[in-house]
Structure 1
């Protein structure tokens, strides 16, 4: 009787350990990808703003030069 109980407890513990690890890795991976994507989007937006400012400065310079 004790062997059956110990075996069931062992199998239950083993299944919980493997199931828990797999789920955490997937969640961590999704969060990491989302953070990387957000960072890339922020960097792209900053580059676009910088380009727009440079273009506007060039237009002002051209207007002042009379071109």
Structure 2
């Protein structure tokens, strides 16, 4: 592996680490995160309902 590739990989890792630290440092949830949580809950409820229906069909 050439020195340029190693340096480039190090820069990429450092940049990604900086982004991860910057985004995790935000103490408050924004509107997108709140909406995402609502979507996650809705998907979980839908999965549970589908499982219940599948169980009923098998009976």
Give 4+ residue runs of structure 1 displaced > 2 Å after superposition.
Answer: none
TM-score scaled by structure 2?
0.50
What 5-or-longer segments of structure 2 have no aligned partner? 1-25
Q: Which has the larger radius of gyration?
A: 1
- Give SS of 1:44's match: helix
Unaligned runs of at least 5 residues, structure 1? 1-23, 58-67
Q: Work out which of the residue numbers 36, 53, 56 in structure 2 matches 1:54.
A: 56
Would you say how many aligned residue pairs link Structure 1 and Structure 2? 32
Q: Indicate the structure with greater helix content.
A: 1
